[in-house]
Amino acid sequence: MAPKKQNHQNSIPVSGEIRPLPAPRSGRKQSSLKSALSRQCVTLEDLRNSRERMQLKTLQRKISLSPRSDRRPPEKLGDFLPQWFQMHVTKTGDVLATASETLQSTLPEKLWRSIAFGPSQRGLLTLYCSSCTVKMEVDMLLSPGTPGLRHLQIATKGLIFKVKSVVDRARSTG
């Protein structure tokens, strides 16, 4: 009779059990899988069942027709526009009106007449000045740490926290 050929790479005991892994020789920690396997004998059937269960859950998640809970249903344009207008246009207009009143009371009259408001984006208010001297005066009165800027920040409830002045004769009112 011919001797049996054995595959030494994937030898599995006939009983269907997996033997515990040998303890590591170095001082490193065992991974949670190794420690779980060394504490109890896990059969091949248990491993197959757990893998099939995971695959089944994944397929159910992919096939399910219900929308994902973390996604909102699409809104109609008529429902979206009033909220967007309130948030971006009305709120920005209120902030600029408050900033205008505050700067009018803070800056001298001559200086107030020679500036114009620009865009307000991410807490940065742009002021257009009619000349370099007006720009320098605005920078001195509204630079970081001055009472004028602090008064503006308090009035706008922190929505404007920095002022940038730009010389632009075409946009300024003076």
Q: Does the pLDDT value for residue 106 go beyond 80?
A: yes
Do residues 143 and 123 touch, judged by C-beta distance below 8 A? no
* Cα–Cα distance, 38 to 88 (Å, whole number): 61
Q: Does the pLDDT value for residue 153 go beyond 80?
A: yes
Q: 3-state class of 162 per DSSP?
A: strand
Helix (H) or strand (E) holding 89: none
Quickly name the fold that domain 90-167 has. Answer: GMP Synthetase; Chain A, domain 3 (3.30.300)
Q: Which spans in the chain are helix H?
A: 32-39, 44-63, 77-84, 91-106, 109-113, 132-141, 147-155
Residue tagged 């009143």 (tokens): 101
* Cα–Cα distance, 158 to 156 (Å, whole number): 6
The residue ranges of every structural domain in the chain are 32-63, 90-167
Cβ-based burial of 38 (10 A; exposed 0-12, middle 13-18, buried ≥19): middle
pLDDT tens column, 60-91 = 776 666 656 666 666 777 777 888 888 878 88
Least confident of 7-11, 43-47, 49-53, 65-69: 7-11
User: Where residue 163 falls among pLDDT bands split at 50, 70, 90?
Assistant: very high
Instruction: Return the bridge partners of 17, or none.
Output: 43
Q: Does the pLDDT value for residue 47 go beyond 70?
A: no
User: Where residue 126 falls among pLDDT bands split at 50, 70, 90?
Assistant: very high
Compare 123 and 37 and report the one with higher pLDDT: 123
Residues contacting 140, CB < 8 A, separation 6+: 146
Average pLDDT over the chain, rounded to an integer: 77
User: Where residue 121 falls among pLDDT bands split at 50, 70, 90?
Assistant: confident
